[in-house]
Amino acid sequence: MSWPFIGETIEFLFGKPECYVLKRMKKYSPDIFKTKILGEKTVAICGPNGHKFLFMNEQKYFTAFRPHSTQRMFTSNKEPAAAQIQQGLEVEGKVLKSLGFLKPEALVRYLGKMEAITRKQMVKYWEGKTDVKAHSLTKIPTLTLACRFFLGTDHPERVARLVRNFDDFTVGCQRHQEGVEGGDSGEGGIASGAPIQDILTHMILAIDPTGKHMPEAEIADKIMCLLVAGYSTVATAIGERPDIYQKVHAEQKEVAATRHGGDLLDWKDINKMKHKWNVVYEVMRPTPPLQFKGLSKRLSLTSPMRVTPFQRVEEYFPEPGKFEPSRYKEIDAFPPFTFVPFGGGPRMCPGKEYARLPILTFACALVI
């Protein structure tokens, strides 16, 4: 189990994680092995069969769990009982799904606004610049969109303050529990007098069957989860392949040819961007943005699932070292539970469709 407290965290996070996992699969078992990550006793459940077992048995053999380093970054800052966590997850799911905030039919109403915000950000931070720090700058429009549609505000100064703090927050979530410093949650605002069109407003006004409102600390936790999840979505998907760019540009020209003047993007345009989304899939394959599924096993062991190594295995992905977006033209051809960039089962990322829109609107603004 390596060093006390620290365990194998350093090798796992700062070395080559895929080598770390594959080495232990070879040494111990190709299906399961024990280690210690972020101060937690950990079980790694490996491969497509492990994915399937985890996704299909969450409420039977597993309960949701936050590592101490992550929990301390949230407003509630306490370790609730497993039953309370599960109840909280169920309530959170109902809140997010009750009005369909993250469903395509709801998101499509915001496409025009998303494109307008993205283009405004591109003009401000990208156009006319000789030196562009692309990775960090992509986070600004992404967080602006998240604040606009989750919090009901896109105030530039507030977003700027959040950008400065969010990298520290995400790093803090991965720190060892003995060395974690508390983090400040970001500010958000409500569009005064406006209809209920954002998740924060709905959370504040929603009541449970007993007539009680959601506690402020719980609202803060859920909003932070949404903002952190959407913060680096675009930055994670950036790649450097001129040949791929040419194909993306050709597709974009086809989409632009069907638009007139100042027309903004609509759902038909998004559905035409198949090659762009295949490129995003291929970028996420070696290192998906969602690395873990933090779950607490009944044996008091944490079960994080690292999906990266299996995206590089020849058995599942022919020529895994080759960047080939066309492999996703027939995505159903992959063996079940091998390609799961957004997770699966009850814990599948609820913002999967939301993530697609900022990425594709950003790609349109960048390519044109």
Tens-place pLDDT, residues 184-196? 333 333 333 334 4
pLDDT at residue number 303: 47
pLDDT at residue number 315: 79
Average pLDDT over residues 193-200: 51
Backbone angles phi, psi at 59, to 5 degrees: -85, -5
The candidate with the shortest Cα–Cα distance to 273, out of 288, 290, 258, is 258
Scan for tokens 């069957």, then name that residue. Answer: 209
Annotated binding-site residues for heme read: 349
Q: In the predicted model, is pLDDT for residue 267 greater than 80?
A: yes
Give the model's confidence band at 307: pLDDT under 50 very low, under 70 low, under 90 confident, else very high: very low
Quick one: 104 exposed, middle or buried, by C-beta within 10 A (0-12, 13-18, 19+)? middle
Contact 91, 202 (CB under 8 A): no
pLDDT tens column, 89-121: 555 555 555 556 677 777 888 888 888 888 888
Residue type, 226: L
Residues forming beta bridges with residue 32, ordered by sequence position: 45
pLDDT tens column, 320-359: 878 888 888 876 777 888 888 787 777 777 778 888 888 8
Spatial distance between the Cα atoms of 65 and 266, rounded to a whole number of angstroms: 38
- Close Cβ partners of 75 (under 8 Å, ≥ 6 residues apart): 185, 216, 217, 220, 221, 224
CATH architecture, domain 9-367: Orthogonal Bundle (1.10)
pLDDT at residue number 14: 61
Give the model's confidence band at 294: pLDDT under 50 very low, under 70 low, under 90 confident, else very high: very low
Q: Give the residue extent of every domain in the chain.
A: 9-367
Backbone angles phi, psi at 24, to 5 degrees: -75, -30
pLDDT at residue number 134: 75
pLDDT at residue number 301: 46
The candidate with the shortest Cα–Cα distance to 185, out of 176, 174, 172, 198, is 172
DSSP secondary structure code for residue 62 in this structure = E
pLDDT at residue number 85: 47
Higher per-residue pLDDT: 161 or 120: 120
pLDDT tens column, 3-32: 444 557 666 666 566 777 778 888 888 888
pLDDT at residue number 356: 86
pLDDT at residue number 73: 63
* Residue 248 C-beta-side C-alpha neighbours within 13 Å: 24
pLDDT at residue number 179: 39
The mean of the pLDDT values for the chain is 70
Residues forming beta bridges with residue 43, ordered by sequence position: 34
pLDDT at residue number 127: 83
pLDDT at residue number 233: 52
Quick one: 192 exposed, middle or buried, by C-beta within 10 A (0-12, 13-18, 19+)? exposed
pLDDT at residue number 232: 54
Which region among 71-85, 187-201, 226-240, 268-282 has the lowest average model confidence (pLDDT)? 187-201
Quick one: 102 exposed, middle or buried, by C-beta within 10 A (0-12, 13-18, 19+)? buried
Spatial distance between the Cα atoms of 157 and 122, rounded to a whole number of angstroms: 17
Annotated binding-site residues read: 349
Tell me, rounded to whole angstroms, the distance of Cα 204 from its chain centroid: 24
Q: Is the whole-model pTM more than 0.85? A: no
Structure tokens at 137: 């700058």
pLDDT tens column, 133-159: 777 777 788 888 888 887 777 787 887
Q: In the predicted model, is pLDDT for residue 83 greater than 60?
A: no
pLDDT at residue number 170: 65
DSSP secondary structure code for residue 110 in this structure = G
Give the model's confidence band at 308: pLDDT under 50 very low, under 70 low, under 90 confident, else very high: low
pLDDT at residue number 132: 79
* Residue 279 C-beta-side C-alpha neighbours within 13 Å: 22
Taken as a whole, the chain contains a residue count of 368
